[in-house]
Amino acid sequence: MIRDWLELIRVPNVFTAIADVMMGYFVVMRAADFDVSAGLTLGLLIAASSLFYSAGMALNDVFDYEEDCRDRADRPLPSGRISRSAASRLGWGLLLGGAAASFLVSFLTARWGALICGVGLCVLIWKYNATIKRHAVAGPLALGACRFFNVLLGMSVVELTVNLTPIAAVIGLYIVGVSFMARREADVDDSGVVPRGPILLGMALSIAAVAFLAWLPAWQPDAGQFFVQPGHWQAFVLVMSLLAAWRFLRALVDPRPGVVQRAVGQSIAALIVLDAGITLAVAGIVPGLAVLALIVPITLLRRWFYQT
């Protein structure tokens, strides 16, 4: 029974949302200033991010119930393992819980940023599942916006400024690219393959997002210095760009649904490495390793739970 609920919320991917919010937090907070109060705030941010992501996944299946009954009969709701009403209660309850956790962060930090990001995520998650995801362009953009606000949620412990938005925008654009590929992962033409157009567009956007991080050594965060030699950082960006290109190219060469779905799953998991690299460069090795450690649960859980 517990497995069914974990399958519903796509539990492996929850750790990518946690990586986003942790990265956002450590970008603006010095690791040396981390104390019990900071730990409580970070814990609430992680809880809010996890609840928002899980809510989005649960409500996705609630709103897609008829389609899943037709095309994905093995999923928790169409198979009858979880009732649609129970999934709906869970989804809305998780969304409310995420909003409450965001409010507590705003209360503890005496800043409105977390609550604003939380409200923004609530609206985006609701509107995406209800209507936006049916639009070919607006759907991926909305998912990217969710990631953008999730990173800003982590940063909301300080005053949110325009200077902080580029990093959040990079993560958002990366997810927009992955979402374009994922959107058509199960749609096949007469020859049994996925259309290559969305894969090519997704590749261009995702690689552009990663490559844009090359400017990071010149960007000075509000809370600290750069902990990696610029040359080493450029090498990291190059490797991450090449790995992203390789995942997409494999899907382009062999666009069968299973191959495309694996590429999507790997691209989502790679977000943790990207977040960890940014964290290490801006905040230091200990916070960077803390984010990178999230690759362990997602790698293990991907063996038993689907991600898309």
Give ∠ CA 107-46-101 in degrees, rounded to 5. Answer: 35
Identify the pLDDT of residue 223.
46
Q: Which tokens is 306 given? A: 């689907």
Round to whole Å and give the CA distance between 292 and 290: 6
Q: Domain coordinates of the chain in residue numbers? A: 2-301
Mean pLDDT by 10 residues, the chain (308 residues): 89 96 92 79 97 96 88 86 95 98 96 96 96 92 97 94 91 96 66 80 95 85 71 94 93 86 91 96 93 95 79
Alpha helices (H) in 72-195, listed in sequence order: 84-109, 113-130, 138-155, 165-183
The Cα-based distances of 243 to 96, 180, 210, 254 in angstroms read: 37, 18, 10, 17
Instruction: Determine the pLDDT at residue 172.
Output: 97
Q: Please, are residues 48 and 98 in contact by the beta-carbon 8 Å criterion?
A: yes
pLDDT at 185: 59
**Closest by Cα among 131, 129, 128 to 142:** 128
pLDDT for res 148: 98
Residue 82 contacts residue 57 (beta carbons within 8 Å)? no
Amino acid (1-letter code) at residue 97? G
> Taking the C-alpha atoms of 202, 208, 210 and 211 in order, what is their torsion angle to the nearest 10 degrees?
150
Per-residue model confidence as pLDDT tens digits over 175-224: 999 999 887 655 555 566 778 888 899 999 999 999 999 988 887 655 45
**Nearest residue to 124 via CA among 173, 174, 62, 53:** 53
pLDDT at 121: 98
Q: Which amino acid makes up residue 124?
A: L
Exposed / middle / buried, residue 301 (Cβ in 10 Å: 0-12, 13-18, 19+): middle
Indicate the class that CATH gives domain 2-301. Answer: mainly alpha
Tokens of 13: 């991917």
Residues 203-213: tens digit of each pLDDT = 999 999 999 99
Q: Residue 184: what pLDDT?
A: 63
Q: Do residues 95 and 105 lie in contact, with contact meaning Cβ atoms separated by under 8 Å? A: no
Question: Distance between CA 185 and CA 217 in Å, rounded?
Answer: 36
Residue 36's pLDDT is 82
